[in-house]
Structures are given as structure tokens and as C-alpha cells.
Amino acid sequence: MKSLLTLGLIFFAFSFCGLGDKLKGLSGGTSGGNSNTASSGNSSGSSTSSSSAAEKPKLTASQQAIVDGGTETKWDDQGLSWKLPASWKKMDVKKESFNYQSPDNAFLLVNISVMPDSFPMDTSLKAYHDQALQQLKNGKYESVKLVEIDGITGVEFVEAMPEDKSGPRRHQWIGYRTYLGQKQQLNVMTSTKGTNFDKHSDDFPAILYSMKAVK
């Protein structure tokens, strides 16, 4: 029975490319609880094999200025924080979801999914990355890369402009860690409508890359 549950969770994780379809509106909660995670222990951590291939965040001068001028916004339940522009306001924060919004309807939507101890983090991370690369070839994504943010490795991708330019477009990162003995997936999404996306081409990566995790 346990193996069936694990297989089901893996299938759920591999379906993250349909995550955009699940976001009903730009102001909805985080979608895409696809998940798996890393080694055991009480600190944030990611797979050593995947970390070796991951890039470190590279911020432009304007993106770094956004981070430097941002307000540290903590998610105490999960030991995480981001630097957000002062104008961004809290929508809703719960134990496993963290949602903030800008005045012009851009969003930071973060979701935590807790996984069983047996969940295969390395396999799932590779599958996410492989699927994202396929979506890049298909034209759904504009860019895909493995990025290590504050010691946690994940798949970062930027969606291409949607056919309906008023629809949501996302810059997203999905990574894995162990926190307080729990294996977790971190799904960190920045999103706004397609016509508004270029206005946030600096603050979206600045926000994503500003993430800090309790060690």
C-alpha cells in the first residue's frame, strides 16, 4: 500500500507541467503541489548530485538593487524569507502557503508539500528538469535551468507569453529540502498577466533569488 502511495505521489509530481492550467486566476493560491525532497535531518538541504550541476543565482545590477532595497518578509512557520518591494502586501499566509501581491496584480505564491520519507528526491528532480526541457523545446517555456538558491537546488523556468496575453505568465522555481524532519517540496511562483510580465522582469528574479532558508 505504501509503495502504491509513493508511486501515486511521483505521478503527481511529474505532472507539474500542467500546473499553469490549475491556476484559475492570477490571485488564486499556489497551484502545483508536485513534490519530493531531500535527505533527512533538521536543516534545509538538497541533493548533492543535483547541486553539483546547478547554477548559482546571477543578479543584474538592477535586480540586486531591488533585493538591497527590499523588505525582508519572513515565513516563520517554514523558516523562509524573501526580500519584497515595499509596495507588496500580504494576501494570505498559512502553514503551507504564503501569498503576497503587488499593487498592479503581480504575485508571489509559495506552496509547501510534505512528502513521505521514502520519496525519491533525486529521481523526481531529474524528471522535473527533463520535462521542463521538453516544454522548452515545445515552446511553452522561454528558459529552463537548475538553480541553487541558498543551498537548495531546484528547477527554475520562465513561461513563454500565453496565447491569450491577458492570461497568467509565470517565473517559477521548484526545489526540495528537509526541514524539521520533514521532506518538503518548495514551489515558489511569481506570476502576473502576460501583458504585465515585462514590467516585473527584474523584480521576479530578484524576489526568487532573495530566498533565505533556516539552516
pLDDT tens, position by position, 181-199: 999 999 999 999 999 999 9
- What is the 8-class DSSP label of residue 112? E
Q: Is 215 helix (H, G, I), strand (E, B) or coil?
A: coil
Query: Which pLDDT value is given to residue 106?
Result: 98
Grid look-up 523588505 returns 71
CB neighbours (10 Å) of residue 167?
A: 16
Q: What pLDDT does 84 receive?
A: 98
Low-confidence ranges of the chain (pLDDT < 70): 1-52
Domain ranges, ordered by start, for the chain: 2-213
Contact call for residues 170 and 201 (beta carbons, < 8 A)? no
pLDDT of residue 52: 62
Give pLDDT, residue 122.
86
Q: What is the CATH number of domain 2-213?
A: 3.40.1000.10
Question: Which backbone phi and psi does 126 adopt, to 5 degrees?
Answer: -65, -40
Q: What is the pTM of this model?
A: 0.78
Q: Is 132 within 8 Å of 109 (Cβ atoms)? A: no
Task: Report the SS3 class of residue 51.
Answer: helix
- What is the Cα–Cα distance from 187 to 125, expressed in whole angstroms? 12
Please tell me the predicted confidence (pLDDT) of residue 33. 38
Res 50: pLDDT: 59
What's the confidence (pLDDT) of residue 51?
58
Determine the Cα–Cα distance for residues 124 and 102; give it in Å rounded to an integer: 32
